[in-house]
């Protein structure tokens, strides 16, 4: 019985993350046909941006960027590359995206304003 409850909670958590990722992916305009874009908060300090698209030659592309928020700044790693701190300008854009994400997710998914 306890396992079943844990499984339901885990399934619900994954569903919510998928919904949050979808909302986050829409923050920066329409998603191109045959494309996919997600932006979401994985845990207290970890954010993920994932984008897939098909170019003019029909080739599939995918990029995943992971952001780790630390006291010293925000570290970014893209597709297995080493982590690097965000520049000041990139950090401003990241903060704006996080704020927009929080507002939309709270309003659209959880029914309240952040």
Number of H helices, E strands in the chain: 2, 5
The C-alpha atoms of residue 67 and residue 100 are separated, in whole angstroms, by: 16
> CA triplet 109, 50, 29: central angle to 5 degrees?
65
Residues 13-44 pLDDT 10s:
899 999 999 999 999 888 888 899 999 999 99
Give this prediction's pTM: 0.84
pLDDT of residue 76: 97
The C-alpha atoms of residue 105 and residue 113 are separated, in whole angstroms, by: 9
Tokens of 57: 């030659």
**What is the three-state SS of 46-84?**
EEEEEEEEECCCCCEEEEEEEEEEECCEEEEEECCCCCE
pLDDT of residue 113: 54
């Amino acid at each position: 019985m306890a396992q079943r409850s844990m499984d339901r909670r885990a399934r619900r958590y994954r569903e919510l993350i998928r919904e949050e990722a979808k909302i986050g992916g829409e923050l920066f305009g329409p998603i191109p046909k045959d494309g996919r874009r997600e932006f979401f908060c994985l845990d207290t300090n970890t954010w993920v941006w994932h984008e897939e698209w098909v170019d003019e030659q029909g080739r599939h592309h995918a990029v995943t960027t992971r952001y780790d928020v630390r006291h010293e700044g925000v570290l970014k790693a893209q597709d297995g590359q080493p982590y690097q701190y965000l520049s000041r300008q990139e950090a401003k854009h990241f903060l704006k995206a996080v704020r927009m994400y929080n507002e939309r997710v709270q309003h659209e998914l959880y029914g309240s304003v952040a």
